[in-house]
């Protein structure tokens, strides 16, 4: 359920017509609905009310500090994967004791910063990383809380680029090797073993892979406890899918019921790291048609948004529903919707049937709230889009459109070039 809907052939976000925002703020433009973000968070978090848990929104899905502040005010913690994400979370007012830190390549500087901030725990992804955290913590006279990210070798049945819990993936420590790493961790004075973690992938549309992963984790926790290694937190990662097209992912309460039932009486605090399912359908990207053209083989609609603004179609061949912001009733065409970037891989949709748009029309690319702006770049020296948050009958710019000055802000011409 989201708050994008048509009234009199006009697409609205909550009570604001998208055309009005686009006219004032320009395009391409990301538009998020506050009511949808709040609804999604509450639906997810309430679904786990029966167990001790902490929902840690996964910052990478949509990193805007206004979005982080919104979730933080609802009680959310966060899952971060870089020093930059820690900085964003703290700036947004997220309590450090609600931050979990994942990522296969944490640098020493990032580890030190996380220790200084007093985060809840590091989700450690290799034996070498554990050694480094231990050294950094003992040099600071600190004790680092850790969970080991184990790779349970479960197939999440999703796109290979977003599968993360298979033996062949770079993430975590294989469940076969994890026991030895835990024994080493338990013997390190500057390390406090706090939990166990896994994240098997993203856009998962069935509960089975989650239940399979948790069942392996549970057996592992029992083995650790038998050896006197305390495990207080079980972090199941994120990954719950959303409907982009015809997918039918479990609703949060179905997902929670399956997880809670598998968790049984393990007596742990459950940590969840949802990203996409909180923000994906709470946002769209609005773009304007620049040109249409018919070639011998194809019809093209050239819009002002490109793969630098939304890379999911180019990267994963992902489907996003495209809809005219003012409903059209003209002839139906089958067209490629493409951006201005100099790559044939720059497209938003291939062979999409739609009412033929005209130059200047606005299109909304739906379900763009997750991995949309957060994966945007400046490729082709394009300015990154603005982001706005709609709140009832008003909206707020939560990131201004970049300027040409922003583009070259970090660049320098050395004196030797005159
Ligand atoms: C460690 C970790 N946690 C959580 C997430 C969020 O996943 P999703 O957006 O599918 O919920 C990701 C996504 O890649 C991740 O790598």
Known catalytic residues are: 342
Per the CATH hierarchy, to which homologous superfamily does domain 4-32+281-408 belong? Lyase, Ornithine Decarboxylase; Chain A, domain 1 (2.40.37.10)
Spacing, Cα 209 to ligand 1 middle (Å): 15
d(CA 35, CA 33) in angstroms, rounded, equals 5
**Per-residue pLDDT at 162:** 64
**Bridge partner residues of 395 (DSSP):** 390
Element (H, E) at 110: helix 108-117
Q: Which residues line ligand 1 (CB under 6 A)?
A: 58, 60-61, 79, 102, 199, 202, 237-240, 273-277, 370
pLDDT digits (tens, 9 = 90+) for 19-70: 999 999 999 999 999 999 999 999 999 999 999 999 999 999 999 999 999 9
**Per-residue pLDDT at 166:** 66
Enumerate residues 6+ apart whose C-beta is below 8 A from 88. 59, 63, 65, 68, 80
Domain limits of the chain?
4-32+281-408, 34-279
Query: Per-residue confidence at 266, pLDDT binned at 50, 70, 90?
Result: very high
* Cα 123 from chain centre: 17
Element (H, E) at 115: helix 108-117
Long-range contacts, stretch 386-389, CB < 8 angstroms, 24+ apart:
386/25, 386/26, 386/29, 386/30, 387/29, 387/30, 387/31, 387/32, 387/64, 388/21, 388/25, 388/29, 388/30, 388/31, 388/32, 389/32, 389/33, 389/34, 389/66, 389/67, 389/70
Q: Whose CA is nearest to atom 4 of ligand 1?
A: 238
**Bridge partner residues of 53 (DSSP):** 270
Query: Per-residue confidence at 171, pLDDT binned at 50, 70, 90?
Result: confident
Residue 186: half-sphere exposure toward Cβ, Cα within 13 Å: 15
Q: Tokens 């970049």 — which residue? A: 402
pLDDT digits (tens, 9 = 90+) for 301-332: 999 999 999 999 999 999 999 999 999 888 99
d(CA 363, CA 73) in angstroms, rounded, equals 32
d(CA 73, CA 155) in angstroms, rounded, equals 35
d(CA 278, CA 367) in angstroms, rounded, equals 11
Which tokens hold the place of 386?
């603005």
Residue to substitute in 76, 275, 281 for testing ligand 1 pocket (most ligand atoms within 8 angstroms of CB): 275
Query: Per-residue confidence at 163, pLDDT binned at 50, 70, 90?
Result: low
Q: Tokens 């848990």 — which residue? A: 53
Residue to substitute in 57, 103, 238 for testing ligand 1 pocket (most ligand atoms within 8 angstroms of CB): 238
- Check: pTM over 0.85? Answer yes or no: yes
**Per-residue pLDDT at 35:** 98
The residue among 363, 346, 352, 365 whose CA lies nearest residue 280 is 365
Pick 34-279's CATH classification: 3.20.20.70, 3.40.50.150, 3.20.20.10, 3.40.50.2000.
3.20.20.10
């Amino acid at each position: 359920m989201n708050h994008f809907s048509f009234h009199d052939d006009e697409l609205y976000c909550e009570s604001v017509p998208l055309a009005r925002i686009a006219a004032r703020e320009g395009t391409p433009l990301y538009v998020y609905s506050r009511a949808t973000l709040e609804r999604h968070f509450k639906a997810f978090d309430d679904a786990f009310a029966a167990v001790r848990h902490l929902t840690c929104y996964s910052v990478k899905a949509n990193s805007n500090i206004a979005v982080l502040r919104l979730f933080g005010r609802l009680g959310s913690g966060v899952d971060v994967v870089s020093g930059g994400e820690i900085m964003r979370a703290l700036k947004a007012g997220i309590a450090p004791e609600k931050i979990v830190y994942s990522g296969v390549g944490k640098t020493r500087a990032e580890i030190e910063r996380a220790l200084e901030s007093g985060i809840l725990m590091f989700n450690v992804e290799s034996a070498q990383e554990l050694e480094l955290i231990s050294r950094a913590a003992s040099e600071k006279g600190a004790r680092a809380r850790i969970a080991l990210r184990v790779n349970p070798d479960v197939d999440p049945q999703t796109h290979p680029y977003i599968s993360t819990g298979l033996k062949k993936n770079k993430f975590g420590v294989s469940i076969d090797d994890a026991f030895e790493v835990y024994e080493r961790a338990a013997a390190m004075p500057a390390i406090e073993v706090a939990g166990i973690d896994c994240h098997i992938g993203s856009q998962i549309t069935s509960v089975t892979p989650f239940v399979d992963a948790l069942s392996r984790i549970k057996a592992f926790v029992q083995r650790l406890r038998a050896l006197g290694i305390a495990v207080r937190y079980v972090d199941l990662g994120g990954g719950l899918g959303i409907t982009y097209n015809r997918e039918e992912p479990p609703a949060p309460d179905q997902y929670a019921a399956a997880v809670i039932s598998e968790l049984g009486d393990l007596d742990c605090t459950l940590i969840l790291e949802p990203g996409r399912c909180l923000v994906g359908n709470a946002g769209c990207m609005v773009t304007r048609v620049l040109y249409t053209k018919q070639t011998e083989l194809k019809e093209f609609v050239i819009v002002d948004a490109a793969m630098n603004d939304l890379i999911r179609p180019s990267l994963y061949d992902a489907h996003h529903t495209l809809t005219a912001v003012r409903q059209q009733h003209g002839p139906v065409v089958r067209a490629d919707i493409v951006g201005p970037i100099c790559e044939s891989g720059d497209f938003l949709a291939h062979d999409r049937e739609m009412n033929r748009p005209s130059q200047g029309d606005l299109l909304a690319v739906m379900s763009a709230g997750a991995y949309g702006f957060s994966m945007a770049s400046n490729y082709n020296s394009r300015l990154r889009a603005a982001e706005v948050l709609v709140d009832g009958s008003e909206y707020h710019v939560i990131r201004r459109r970049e300027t040409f000055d922003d583009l070259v802000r970090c660049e320098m011409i050395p004196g030797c070039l005159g």
